[in-house]
């Protein structure tokens, strides 16, 4: 079995035409996980009310998009089946809903404090 970069050729993502894409994605996700939180804290500060929100969704969004891309790319979702189209919609709508609900909750906590 011929090997390229210590992994067998049978893995399609290791083939030479995909090495650049895999390396680019690895660099991007390493950057997202390591440098983005540090950049966020240096610009907003640890105590800023949006720093946790932007950290959660700013760090998680690239992974979510990659997951949806992989589902579509490797045909894990069959668009001819109505139930599977609904699941894709629920994934995307669920993320948008949680982002919106979390953002409204933070906004309400900061600008409409409980005076009880």
Extents of the domains making up the chain: 3-111
pLDDT over 70 at 26, yes or no: yes
Name the pairing type of β-strands 3-4 and 7-8.
antiparallel
Q: 0.85 exceeded by the pTM?
A: no
> How many CB atoms within 10 Å of residue 40?
19
Closest CA to 73 of 65, 81, 62: 65
Selection from 98, 106, 44 nearest residue 36 by Cα:
44
What does pLDDT average to over the chain? 81
Q: Cβ(110)–Cβ(49) under 8 Å? A: yes
For the segment 23-29, the average pLDDT, to the nearest whole number, is 80
Task: Evaluate if residue 55 carries a pLDDT over 70.
Answer: yes
Contact 29, 63 (CB under 8 A): yes
Q: Residue 97's pLDDT band (boundaries 50, 70, 90)?
A: very high
Q: Tell me the pLDDT tens digit for each residue of 62-85.
A: 888 888 888 888 888 888 888 888
| 3-class state of residue 86 by DSSP | helix
What are the start-end ranges of the H helices in the chain?
A: 16-44, 51-73, 82-111
């Amino acid at each position: 079995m011929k090997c390229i970069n210590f992994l067998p050729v049978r893995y399609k993502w290791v083939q030479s035409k995909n090495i650049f894409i895999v390396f680019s994605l690895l660099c991007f996700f390493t950057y997202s996980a390591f440098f983005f939180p540090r950049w966020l804290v240096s610009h907003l500060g640890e105590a800023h009310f949006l720093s946790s929100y932007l950290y959660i969704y700013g760090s998680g969004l690239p992974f979510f998009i990659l997951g949806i891309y992989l589902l579509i790319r490797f045909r894990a979702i069959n668009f001819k089946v109505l139930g599977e189209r609904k699941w894709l919609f629920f994934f995307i709508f669920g993320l948008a809903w949680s982002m919106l609900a979390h953002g409204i909750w933070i906004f309400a906590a900061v600008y409409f404090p409980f005076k009880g």
